[in-house]
Amino acid sequence: MSGGIYSKPIAFAITATVVILIGTSVTMFYPMMTVQMHPKLDSLKPFTALELAGRDIYQREGCVNCHTQTVRPLKTEVMRYGEYSKAGEFAYDRPFLWGSKRTGPDLARIGAKYPDAWHVKHFLSPQSMFPQSNMPAYAFLKDARLDPEAVEAHMKALGFPYSPGEIQALKEKTDMDALVAYMQVIGAAVKKTAAPAVAAGVIKETHIPNPLANDQKAIARGAELYAKECASCHGPDAKGDIGPSLVDDEFFYIKGDLPDDDYFEVINNGTSEGSVEDGRTARGGMPGYKDSLKKDDIWSIVAFLRSKKAE
């Protein structure tokens, strides 16, 4: 026994190496080639020509240096950014843009969170939306035209489907259009947690009054919070900008105002396309503030808006 392979160091080393390589291939390399190791969400689609052009601009401008695109399965991250990232949502990401540093917020769930106009305004001047932001402005993107031939070459290289008409349409698009299109598709394949279903047309029978109505301190506090959180979308005078006016006689595109608790619920929960509030259907595009504002803060904003309506 002692005269076997154990007494031949070279032969033993070669044999051990071969066995380890075979084991590694069976347990690691082969599984990587199977379909099960490359999951894809059913709702995930290849990038369109415009979205891919925007992704290229995202890389070109170094956005990945300040923003991540992955939410870790940690309670704190899920509470702040939304559903944790799934392997199947990155099937068409070549390369991955997960990033490693969050100078700015994570963008994994940015898709469909805000309307296109919000992103345009933000890229033109980040500080107009968030005064404390240190993000540079990208206003030059709105004047830069896309190169359809370069985009088509990228589509072919990555094997993404496209049509000649889709490529031709890029002649009328700018780098800003492309980047916004890419923003809107990031994480869009992951279904967002839906609020309890409410049938359109169903109207509440009872309402909760604002406990801070006509409270002057609350109104003053609401004015401060509105300027900080809401003015960039609804205008400094609440008469509308990216978002609709909050001081007219209309709610969710239907004539006739609604009670204070409906305002509270919209601010608290945000809106998504198709969501319903007291019988009226929203078009989406507003984030909820339940994780960043206290209930009294939201009631204060509502009290402030009511004071503006009374002017």
pLDDT tens series, the chain, 311 aa: 456 777 788 888 898 999 998 988 888 777 667 666 557 788 899 999 999 999 999 999 999 999 999 999 898 888 888 888 988 899 999 999 999 889 999 999 999 888 999 999 999 999 988 888 999 999 999 999 999 999 999 999 999 999 999 999 999 999 999 999 999 999 988 876 555 545 555 667 789 999 999 999 999 999 999 999 999 999 999 999 999 999 998 888 889 988 999 999 999 998 888 888 888 888 888 888 988 899 999 999 999 999 988 77
Find the domain containing 293 and state its range. Answer: 216-309
Answer whether 78's CB lies under 8 Å from 71's CB: yes
Same domain, residue pair 69 and 153: yes
Count of the separate structural domains present in the chain: 3
d(CA 57, CA 70): 19
The answer to whether position 33 is within a domain reads: yes
Same domain, residue pair 141 and 235: no
d(CA 244, CA 249): 11
Same domain, residue pair 55 and 178: yes
d(CA 110, CA 119): 10
Same domain, residue pair 158 and 284: no
Same domain, residue pair 72 and 178: yes
Same domain, residue pair 138 and 255: no
Answer whether 155's CB lies under 8 Å from 120's CB: no
Residue with tokens 């005078």: 237
The answer to whether position 201 is within a domain reads: no
Same domain, residue pair 58 and 176: yes
**DSSP line for 150-193:** HHHHHHHHHT----HHHHHHGGG-BHHHHHHHHHHHTTTTSPPP
Same domain, residue pair 180 and 100: yes
The answer to whether position 43 is within a domain reads: no
Same domain, residue pair 253 and 133: no
The answer to whether position 206 is within a domain reads: no
Return the SS3 of 120: helix
Same domain, residue pair 59 and 179: yes
CATH label of the domain that carries residue 303: 1.10.760.10
